[in-house]
């Protein structure tokens, strides 16, 4: 793995998720059901049409884009299925 560590994001491990539609791989961390952090790899940005459309030139805070429709759906499916850790998961879920 050639992940560049960002110390501000290291309170929980990022988990690799591949977009169903673009086949781009990103790193995802769900700190809660509502909060999703996504770290984009360069090749994933290239593959994802919606990502390119949202931010043609990634700015200093390019992390605000939460993913294309397919990626959000993929993340939600993984989280619900227990394949993606949710840090503050409610026990009565
Ligand atoms: Zn995508």
- For residue range 14-73, list pLDDT tens digits in order: 999 999 888 999 999 998 888 888 888 888 988 888 887 776 555 554 455 667 889 999
The rounded Å distance from CA 42 to ligand 1 centre is 13
Q: What is the CA radius of gyration of the chain?
A: 13
Q: Is the four-CA dihedral 4, 61, 52, 54 of positive or negative sign?
A: positive
Q: Where are the domains of the chain?
A: 12-80
- CA–centroid distance, 50 to ligand 1, in Å, is 6
pLDDT for the residue 8:
52
pLDDT at 81: 96
Ligand 1 centre and the CA of 62: distance in Å?
A: 15
- What integer is the mean pLDDT of 82-91? 80
**Residues whose CB falls within 8 Å of the CB of residue 71, separated by 6 or more in sequence, listed in order:** 17, 19, 20, 21, 22, 24, 26, 38, 48
pTM above 0.75, yes or no: no
Q: Please tell me which residue, 11 or 49, carries the higher pLDDT value.
A: 49
Give the C-alpha separation, 19 to 71, whole Å: 5
CA of 54 to the centre of ligand 1 (A): 11
**Which residues, by Cβ under 5 Å, contact ligand 1, an ion?**
19, 22, 48, 68, 71
């Amino acid at each position: 793995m050639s992940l560049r560590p960002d110390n501000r994001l290291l309170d929980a491990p990022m988990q690799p998720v591949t977009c169903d539609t673009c086949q781009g791989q990103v790193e995802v961390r769900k700190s809660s059901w509502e909060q999703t952090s996504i770290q984009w790899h360069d090749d994933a940005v290239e593959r994802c049409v919606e990502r390119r459309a949202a931010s043609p030139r990634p700015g200093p805070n390019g992390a605000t884009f939460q993913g294309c429709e397919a990626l959000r759906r993929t993340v939600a499916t993984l989280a619900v299925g227990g394949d993606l850790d949710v840090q503050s998961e409610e026990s009565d879920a």
